[in-house]
Amino acid sequence: MSMILDGASVATSIKEQLETRIQSLKDIGVTPCLATILVGDDPSSETYVRMKGNACRRLGMESRRIHLEESTSTEQLIDEIRKLNEDGTVHGILLQHPVPHHIDERAAFEAISIDKDVDGVTTLGFAQTAFGFGLYPSCTPAAIMAILDAYNLQIEGKHAVVIGRSPILGKPVSLMLLNRNATVTICHSKTNQLDEIVRSADIVVAAVGKPKFVQGDWIKPGAIVMDAGYNKGNVGDVDYDACLNKAGAITPVPAGVGPVTIATLLKHTVDAAERLSIK
């Protein structure tokens, strides 16, 4: 029987550990503040921003929301980001993505100060993660690692197969696993015989953005399955029911990686507030 990796309980533990640190900052007149920027009126993005804001407020942090019109230009967006960079009361900046197609998303990400890049979206932050000393790795990869560690699941010496190569999920989690001495194979839409490669994995990270993409007969008995996907209908990138009896451990969707991703964002913001308050 598979071990269900309860992300909700891991997230609760992370947030409980933040409470004392947040109070200590408030005692010296600092309230950790996460600024979220939303461009346009995409309903899913609005929901994600609202969830992050509510999570901040429940912990006694400040959530500052900047909502820009759909017609906002790249230059206007970057100008807003620079204002937040210079605002000493803001400790973390999150640009909700995707942004409208006419905006140069990468240029906007690069405008975020490395000291406030709590979502791990800049190329400098990525490079620091690759070298093993990134202060704020991308939040979903960091959440995956946090769950593995919370359950004391071995990474060193294991073969990890990551399905997906996005710059804020597949690539950074591959590097984080590599830095923990796993042997890592990165798969993507051009990979041949994907099912055979996955069958060799001790750890499977599904980050492909397709509902129920990973099939039960792809999973080696006893493998650890980390589902980083979230699709319509509250389903992940893994066929959960089919994989449940094959995997040694598996994250559900919802209540798996998602809650820990948000908790990690809050943790990074508190980390940044502590660092910036002593500069």
What single-letter amino acid sits at 138? Answer: S
And the tokens for 217?
A: 């007969």
CA dist 91 and 30 (Å) reads 10
Which residues make Cβ contacts (< 8 Å) with residue 8, sequence separation at least 6? 255, 259
Q: What is the DSSP string of 202-256?
A: SEEEE-SS-TT-B-GGGSPTT-EEEE---BTTTB-SB-HHHHHTT-SEE--SSSS
Q: Which SS3 state, helix, strand or coil, does residue 166 take?
A: coil
Phi then psi for residue 94, to 5 deg, are -125, 120
Tokens of 213: 């993409």
Specify the amino acid at residue 204. V
Active-site residue, from 52, 158, 212, 267: 52
Token pair 């929301």 is found at 65
Q: Which of 86, 264, 59, 266 is nearest to 168 (CA)?
A: 264
Catalytic position from the list 96, 158, 220, 267? 96
Rounded to the nearest 5 degrees, what angle is found at the Cα of 193, between the Cα atoms of 192 and 197? 110
Which tokens go with 77? 């967006």
Cα radius of gyration rounded to whole Å, the chain: 19
Distance CA 152, CA 195 (A): 27
Please pick, among 6, 117, 119, 227, the residue that the annotation labels catalytic. 119
Asked if 52 is an active-site residue, the reply is: yes
- 179-205 burial, b at 16+ Cβ within 10 Å, e below that, comes to bbebebbbbeeeeeebeebbeebbbbb
Q: Which residues are catalytic?
A: 52, 96, 119
